[in-house]
Structure 1
Amino acid sequence: MTQEEMLARVLYRDGLMIVIDKPAGLPVHRGPKGGESLEESFEALRYGLPRAPSLAHRLDRETSGCLVLGRHRKALAHLGLLFKHGQVKKTYWAVVEGGPEADTGTIEIPLGRLDETRGWWMQPDPNGLPSVSTWQVLGRSGGAGEPGEALTWLALSPLTGRTHQLRVHCSAMGFPILGDNIYGRAPRFGGPGLHLHARQIVVPLSKSKPPVTVTAPVPKHLQARMAACGWREDDP
């Protein structure tokens, strides 16, 4: 990613943090096999400080949207505590296959590692870590995707921060996220792309000021199926 491309993805900046719009398909860290990663381009975001910003949390490779960076060590420590104690409110938009019957609900399914050979892959596990997510239906299609395919546009909020939490929770409830090639029905390669977007993040940076609210625009690869569920490009 060029310096200009990275700067164009900045959604918010102050003295403590930067929020960028992460593109889908690019990992935040370089993997064990190498390859391009997002943090290699953080040097473009110094804005005069002696060091580049660092990640305050993570998003999956295929997930797009709001990603928070700490601009220096003290800021990173402060943000780390806010994330650790669940004080940062995260809202994701997703398109799922099928969908819940109710318009709102809560998923409480403990999660654990699938096995040691699968890295960060997770599964429902009664002896795993407590994991809680909420959903709200924002729109439904009547089979407007692939032939006979019913889709639902959801707002999802992870109240805990487990790896792949929303993806595993939706799959376990019977409405996997469209394009999920690990927990869903998508082929391992060549599918439509994961329809999961970190739409908004609310960070209570200061006790004396209102929380910082940042919203990421809907990426192109989500727009067609979200439109089938009632989303319009001029929606807030």
Structure 2
Amino acid sequence: MELEILYRDEHLVAVNKPAGMLVHRSWLDRHETVFVMQTLRDQIGQHVFPLHRLDRPTSGVLLFALSSETAAVMMPKFAGRDVKKTYHAVVRGWVKEAAVLDYPLKEELDKIADKDADQDKEAKEAITAYAPLAKVETDIPVGRYATSRYTLVEMKPETGRKHQLRRHMHHLSHHIIGDVNHGDGRHNRMFRENYQCRRLMLHASRLQLAHPISGEVLDIRAGVDEAWGRVMDAFEWPLSLLSPKSPDQD
């Protein structure tokens, strides 16, 4: 397969990561043979250095450095709050108003990889700004209700904890559709059966950062896949809702 390249110069390259694709090889997924890093390396003919990560089921903007020197400059910016990230998600229920959730999260440990890690670490700061963009009520019953309600939400994480957006939405009881670990299986099944949507409805739409060499502000955006398109069409939500405002509107 060929990855969609969203931005490229001699220092950086950004791609639109497909849902379900691992960023790099992991011994926890030994059976997998396709990874973003290797695919991109073969596609552009040079080594790439990951600057951040997207969970396997999440799609959207993924940025790489093209040298270890550039990576060394950029990594602290991602670790801090110098890089602005915008995500979109479809969640269960109606999110009534925009807000900022400041809810610390304990580190999620893997049963195998982290079996020797400290299980009682203190929760760390986790902050997510979120806002509803569109709502819908369908006549498809889920559980004991005759109808089902969903919201298209824009989210801007101010911190980068593991599975932060999924866990924060779970905390608010607005589970992200398609989330098998923190979501609601009944709604996930409804989306599979009625909209042929078998993915996590979480998309990294936009990345804003200062270029490590020129200082120019980069505004990199990624479009959505067919599954997103089907859901947006079924709910009569225009795709323009997924186009974040231009920088001068922020």
Give TM-score scaled by structure 1 length: 0.84
- Counterpart-to-counterpart distance in 2, 1:168 and 1:80: 24
Structure 2: gaps (5+ residues): 115-119, 193-197, 244-250
Q: What SS is found at the alignment partner of 2:185?
A: coil
**Partner of 1:154 in structure 2?**
153
What percent of counterpart residues are identical?
Answer: 27
- Counterpart-to-counterpart distance in 2, 1:211 and 1:141: 36
**Partner of 1:199 in structure 2?**
205
Q: What SS is found at the alignment partner of 1:171?
A: helix
- Counterpart-to-counterpart distance in 2, 1:211 and 1:217: 20
1:226 aligned partner, one-letter code: M
- 1:35-46 aligned at under 5 Å gives the runs 35-36=32-33, 37-46=35-44
Q: Contact 1:151–1:229 (CA<8 Å) still a contact in 2?
A: no
**Partner of 1:217 in structure 2?**
223
- Counterpart-to-counterpart distance in 1, 2:173 and 2:232: 19
- 2:95 equivalent to 1:95: no
Q: 1:141 aligns with which of 123, 132, 136?
A: 136
- Counterpart-to-counterpart distance in 2, 1:144 and 1:57: 40
Q: Contact 1:55–1:68 (CA<8 Å) still a contact in 2?
A: yes
C-alpha spacing 1:233/1:145, structure 2 compared with 1 (3 Å)? farther
| 1:147-170 Cα shifts (integer Å, max 9, x gaps) | 622110011011001110000000
Q: Contact 1:195–1:222 (CA<8 Å) still a contact in 2?
A: yes
Q: 1:106 aligns with which of 95, 100, 105?
A: 100
- Counterpart-to-counterpart distance in 1, 2:139 and 2:47: 44
- Counterpart-to-counterpart distance in 1, 2:121 and 2:23: 30
In terms of mean alpha carbon deviation, does 151-160 or 75-84 score higher? 75-84
Q: Contact 2:96–2:132 (CA<8 Å) still a contact in 1?
A: no
**Partner of 1:70 in structure 2?**
65
Q: Contact 1:152–1:229 (CA<8 Å) still a contact in 2?
A: no
In terms of mean alpha carbon deviation, does 198-207 or 153-162 score higher? 198-207
- Counterpart-to-counterpart distance in 1, 2:137 and 2:121: 35
CA positional deviation for 1:210: 3.6
CA positional deviation for 1:43: 1.9
**Partner of 1:81 in structure 2?**
76
CA positional deviation for 1:209: 4.3
**Partner of 2:195 in structure 1?**
none
C-alpha RMSD of matched pairs (Å): 2.5
| 1:24-49 Cα shifts (integer Å, max 9, x gaps) | 011112221421222221223545xx
CA positional deviation for 1:227: 3.5
Q: What SS is found at the alignment partner of 2:7?
A: strand
Q: What SS is found at the alignment partner of 1:78?
A: helix
- Counterpart-to-counterpart distance in 2, 1:46 and 1:68: 14
Q: What SS is found at the alignment partner of 2:219?
A: strand
**Partner of 1:178 in structure 2?**
177
CA positional deviation for 1:126: 10
**Partner of 1:11 in structure 2?**
6
**Partner of 1:117 in structure 2?**
111
In terms of mean alpha carbon deviation, does 146-155 or 75-84 score higher? 146-155
Q: Contact 1:111–1:126 (CA<8 Å) still a contact in 2?
A: no
Q: Contact 1:106–1:132 (CA<8 Å) still a contact in 2?
A: yes
- Counterpart-to-counterpart distance in 2, 1:94 and 1:193: 11
Aligned length: 222
Q: Contact 1:109–1:169 (CA<8 Å) still a contact in 2?
A: yes
Q: What SS is found at the alignment partner of 1:117?
A: coil
Q: Contact 2:108–2:162 (CA<8 Å) still a contact in 1?
A: no
